[in-house]
Structure 1
Amino acid sequence: MNPQYPTRVPPVDLDGLTGRQEAVRVKMGPYGEAGTSTMMRTFLNYPEFARSLGRIGTRVTLTSDLPPRLAALASARTAWACGSEYLWAHVHAQSPGITETELSGIEQHVVEAIDELHHTHYLSDEKWYRISLLGPNAVMDLITTYGFFVSLAAAVNSMGVQPEDGLTGWGALSPAPERNLAASPRRVPKRVFEADYADLSPRQIEQANRMGRRGKPSTSKLQKAMINYPEFLQALSPFGKRAIDDTCLPSRVWQIACMRTVWLCDSEYLWSQHRKACLKLGVTDQDLTGVAAGPGSRLLTGFDEVVVRTVDEMFFHNRISDENWLQFDRFGTEGVTDLILVYGLYVLQSCVARNFGTTLEEGSIGYLPALGRFRKGIGNG
């Protein structure tokens, strides 16, 4: 048993599933069969959560532009940074030798690129260039791998999923290092420009049509930039749909969770975009000052403080506390996993927006001047 994260949610009995759990299990293919991992059997307690992970997980593990060894290194490094011994053990078991051998030049670049995403949510020019040489989708696949494993780590650590017999955990390795965001760049150059909707490829047109209103020419700059990577958008679709469209979280809770996440990841673009949605909901700029100030701020009222504190637990400690885990039961059986999805999605989207260098929409307002003081010392948790 992992003493750091004791079992909070036991794995399901595959012989006693509900109708919905069984339907999702079948869609999971080999990941839903007898003998599947403890993680997948635990996730089946939350069938909508498990279903939302399917396509993005397939992209990360099977169809990525990253060669298998590099994909494994990226996954293992993220699991390490997020303190998830369970995920580390699984990646290590599936790709033996990734932690025992000397790293080649590109392998070292991949490991360092994950560290950059984890600490600053931004790839240096060198890492962007080196990874992009691996394929047209390689940079997006690296970012997707990072965001996916951040989400898995928050879920696995919070649920207390235990390693299966025979898997090797940290062993003699030191614990994962503390997060330090002090070096995060404040202004980043534009790398990926918005696609010209009059000149989309057939694959881009197909993906834009699938996206509904988010795929129209009137969509946001970020969506127009992401259409340059239709495979990425297709992989992200079910994950994002559950996190945004089908969530069981009330709108205010959802937006506060989103805003705290993008604040911690320093995505001024996403903060600006969601600020407009917040104001329509009655979330005021004073409320958002409390979100930026963090847990304990006198400006946070009601359940807002619980949401901010829980997001911080995932961001800084990769695990939701017992107290806050139970707080989300009021929104339904998947309330807490829907919160994890919002957090994971907006860590990923923050990395995308920052690395693209997406600029604010015309007429939008970014961080208000009064928020500047709250960025200092943010890496200390």
Structure 2
Amino acid sequence: MTAPRIAPLDPEHLAPKVRELLDALPDTALRTANITTTLARHPELLAASFPLSTMLLYAGTLPDRDRELVILRTAHLAGSAYIHAQHVRIGHLTGLTPAEIARTAAGPGADDWSAHEAALLTAADELHHHACISEATWQRLAQHYGEQQLIEVSVLAGHYRMWAAALNSFGVTPDPAPPTAEREVSDATG
């Protein structure tokens, strides 16, 4: 797609109800992000989507690094340039190296993943392709996680798969990297 099917609203033209929702976001960059300003065209859906998205990203039980591995693999599998670009930035902040982020595209069979990391990536693959985590993968994850975290892995992958389908269909383009994120990525890569 060369242009969005549904263009983001100019932040200056947001309805007061939408502005109120956005002002409550913990991440100020998200207030003007293309995903947010596109969804602002459907204020009820925008409002309904915030609680789960916010919980998974800011208050989940998974370690941040593990969460980002699942999201990056899901974004790759779903072909979501938007989610991938956003979570490359977030992944760096959680301690993922540029090489690890790039390696998520190769999947769980790539060299240098720990057994636990490979299980997370396998779970993302299985959820994407079969809508179910296999028993073997579930048992490997259960060696590190309790019930809440196991639930969260499944919901996290499904949530980002849903957003990938929507964003790909809308034609939402990646946001420009903030100058500090560009510097952090540059510093991390050498």
TM-score (norm 1): 0.40
Corresponding residue number in structure 1 for 2:11: 14
| Whole-angstrom CA distance in 1 between matches of 2:123 and 2:41 | 34
Q: 1:135 to 1:29 in 2, by over 3 A?
A: same
| Whole-angstrom CA distance in 1 between matches of 2:13 and 2:129 | 42
Structure 1's consecutive aligned runs of 4 or more residues displaced over 4 angstroms after TM superposition are 31-34
Corresponding residue number in structure 2 for 1:89: 85
* Residue 23 (1) aligns with residue 34 (2): no
1:175-195 Cα deviation digits (max 9, x unpaired)? xxxxxxxxxxxxxxxxxxxxx
The sequence identity of aligned pairs, in percent, is: 25
CA deviation after TM superposition for structure 1 residue 24, in Å: 2.5
The one-letter amino acid of 2:59's match is T
1:136-194 Cα deviation digits (max 9, x unpaired)? 31111011111111121122112211112349xxxxxxxxxxxxxxxxxxxxxxxxxxx
| Whole-angstrom CA distance in 1 between matches of 2:89 and 2:102 | 12
Which residues in structure 2 correspond to 1:222-233 (within 5 Å)? none
Which secondary structure does the structure 1 equivalent of 2:156 belong to?
A: helix
| Whole-angstrom CA distance in 2 between matches of 1:33 and 1:59 | 15
1:122 aligned to which of 132, 138, 161: 132
Which secondary structure does the structure 2 equivalent of 1:137 belong to?
A: helix
| Whole-angstrom CA distance in 2 between matches of 1:74 and 1:166 | 22
Q: 1:67 to 1:33 in 2, by over 3 A?
A: closer
Q: Alignment RMSD, CA only? A: 2.3
CA deviation after TM superposition for structure 1 residue 11, in Å: 1.6
The one-letter amino acid of 1:21's match is V
* Residue 37 (1) aligns with residue 48 (2): no
Unaligned runs of 5+ in 1: 168-381
CA deviation after TM superposition for structure 1 residue 85, in Å: 1.0
The one-letter amino acid of 1:18's match is A
Q: 1:29 to 1:71 in 2, by over 3 A?
A: closer
| Whole-angstrom CA distance in 2 between matches of 1:5 and 1:117 | 29
| Whole-angstrom CA distance in 2 between matches of 1:129 and 1:136 | 12
1:313-352 Cα deviation digits (max 9, x unpaired)? xxxxxxxxxxxxxxxxxxxxxxxxxxxxxxxxxxxxxxxx
1:28-76 Cα deviation digits (max 9, x unpaired)? 3435775x32211221121111111111112221222221111001001
- Structure number, greater radius of gyration: 1
Corresponding residue number in structure 1 for 2:149: 138
CA deviation after TM superposition for structure 1 residue 26, in Å: 3.0
Which residues in structure 2 correspond to 1:1-381 (within 5 Å)? 4=1, 6-31=3-28, 36-96=32-92, 97=97, 98-100=100-102, 102-132=112-142, 133-166=144-177
1:222-267 Cα deviation digits (max 9, x unpaired)? xxxxxxxxxxxxxxxxxxxxxxxxxxxxxxxxxxxxxxxxxxxxxx
Which secondary structure does the structure 1 equivalent of 2:45 belong to?
A: helix
Q: 1:100 to 1:135 in 2, by over 3 A?
A: same
Unaligned runs of 5+ in 2: 104-111, 179-190
- Bigger fraction of residues in helix: 2
Please identify, of 94-103 and 155-164, the stretch whose mean Cα deviation from structure 2 is larger.
Answer: 94-103
Q: 1:27 to 1:118 in 2, by over 3 A?
A: same
Native 8 Å contact 1:75 1:145 kept in 2:
yes
**Count of matched residue positions in the alignment of Structure 1 and Structure 2:** 164
Q: Taking CA–CA contacts closer than 8 Å with sequence separation of 6 or more, which of the two structures ends up with the larger relative contact order?
A: 2
| Whole-angstrom CA distance in 2 between matches of 1:5 and 1:155 | 16
